[in-house]
Amino acid sequence: MKIGELEVGNLFLAPMAGVSDVGFRKVCRICGADLTFIEMINCNALRFNNVHTKQLLQTEEDECIKAVQIFGHDADQMAEVCRSEQLKKFDIIDINFGCPAPKIVKNGDGSALLKDLSKIKEIVTKCVKATTKPITVKIRIGFNNGDNVACEVAKICEQCGAKAITVHGRTREQMYSGEVDYETIKKVKQSVNIPVIGNGDVFDKTSYEKMLKTGVDGVMVARGALGSPWIFSMLKNLEIKNKFSLVKLHVDTLRKYYNDEILCKTLRKHFLWYVKDIKDGNKFRLKLATTDNLTESLNILKEVLN
């Protein structure tokens, strides 16, 4: 599959806030992800050189194609960010029109924009004009249940110059509950000529193949990768022999940027996800949830995952 002139494969890691850090992305690529997006970036924070936001832009040399996702609602400000030095190293810029988080929606960003298609048109048009890099978009099928605007949004984005579109098959109102609307994803694919990437509830080979039956060009994995970066290996029929070595790589990559005290706190959620499917794992989860020592956390994970 191509996005613009870039060969990108067809199996992607979603841009997940607080999850898709530089270390986790590296592990997912080793496990078979063709393209990994950094977590979504607040355009306004980036414009004002927010230190934490700039830290989210960390990338590794092995990221042959670097993809970033931005969010906001001011078209001129978003276009400014697209041509900024901060995003110079990125090859693909994705625009978020799908995030359902209350704090994002309250500010008029993310999936809130599905209620204002003229604003979506303005944003995509100005961002495309601001850069020679391919602009892609990620959407939900609508804001409220019954407000299915996915095909209309997809056509608008294509007409404005977007090079690909990712569709999460739920409305904002659904959040992450209820069934994924595979039929709408299929209709979006049939309505445009740019690549369409399916997203939503890809947790195993069965759900992956179900998504592929919609005719999409690619599949994006989100929650299915939490604590299970090896899902990409499973979907590609690749063997993973030592899961702990991958967890260690996740940590060691982040150690280039942060000290152990910070990492022990920020990685705790990842550590708990890594043992979520371990039989009788409550005692390990309790230890991981209460220790403030990174070495101790790694020793626990080594015992569980080896």
pLDDT tens over the chain, length 306 residues: 999 999 999 999 999 999 999 999 999 999 999 999 999 999 999 998 888 898 999 999 989 999 999 999 999 999 999 999 999 999 999 999 999 999 999 999 999 999 999 999 999 999 999 999 999 999 999 999 999 999 999 999 999 999 999 999 999 999 999 999 999 999 999 999 999 999 999 999 999 999 999 999 999 999 999 999 999 999 999 998 899 999 999 999 999 999 999 999 899 999 999 998 888 778 899 999 999 999 999 999 999 987
In a domain, residue 146? The reply is yes
Assess whether 212 and 129 both reside in one domain.
Answer: yes
**From edge to edge, which strands make up the β-sheet containing 196-199?**
35-36, 11-13, 218-221, 196-199, 164-171, 135-142, 92-97, 67-71, 41-42
Rg, C-alpha atoms of the chain: 19
3-state secondary structure of 49: coil
Q: With residue 59 as reference, give the H or E element that holds it.
A: none
Assess whether 165 and 209 both reside in one domain.
Answer: yes
Assess whether 39 and 125 both reside in one domain.
Answer: yes
In a domain, residue 77? The reply is yes
The half-sphere exposure of 49 on its side-chain side, counting CA atoms within 13 A, is 1
Assess whether 27 and 147 both reside in one domain.
Answer: yes
Per-residue model confidence (pLDDT) at position 300: 94
Residue entry with tokens 């209620």: 115
Assess whether 159 and 20 both reside in one domain.
Answer: yes
In a domain, residue 248? The reply is no
Assess whether 146 and 192 both reside in one domain.
Answer: yes
Any catalytic annotation for residue 99?
yes
Residue ending a domain, among 235, 270, 292, is 235
Per DSSP, helices labelled H in 32-149 are 43-47, 51-55, 75-82, 102-106, 117-130
Residues 6+ apart with CB under 8 A from 191: 151, 154, 155
Assess whether 64 and 127 both reside in one domain.
Answer: yes
Which of 99, 127, 157, 264 is an active site residue? Answer: 99
In a domain, residue 66? The reply is yes
In a domain, residue 240? The reply is no
Residue entry with tokens 């997203």: 199
Per-residue model confidence (pLDDT) at position 281: 79
Its domain, for residue 207, covers: 2-235
The CA-based angle 287-291-295, given to 5 degrees, is 100
How far is CA 49 from its chain centroid? Answer: 22
Q: Are 12 and 197 within 8 A, CB to CB? A: yes
Assess whether 293 and 202 both reside in one domain.
Answer: no
Q: Are 37 and 13 within 8 A, CB to CB? A: yes
Assess whether 197 and 268 both reside in one domain.
Answer: no
Assess whether 180 and 229 both reside in one domain.
Answer: yes
Q: What is the total count of domains within the chain?
A: 2
Per-residue model confidence (pLDDT) at position 306: 75
Q: Are 105 and 56 within 8 A, CB to CB? A: no
In a domain, residue 252? The reply is no
Q: Within 10 Å of residue 217's Cβ, how many Cβ atoms?
A: 18
Per-residue model confidence (pLDDT) at position 32: 97
In a domain, residue 243? The reply is no
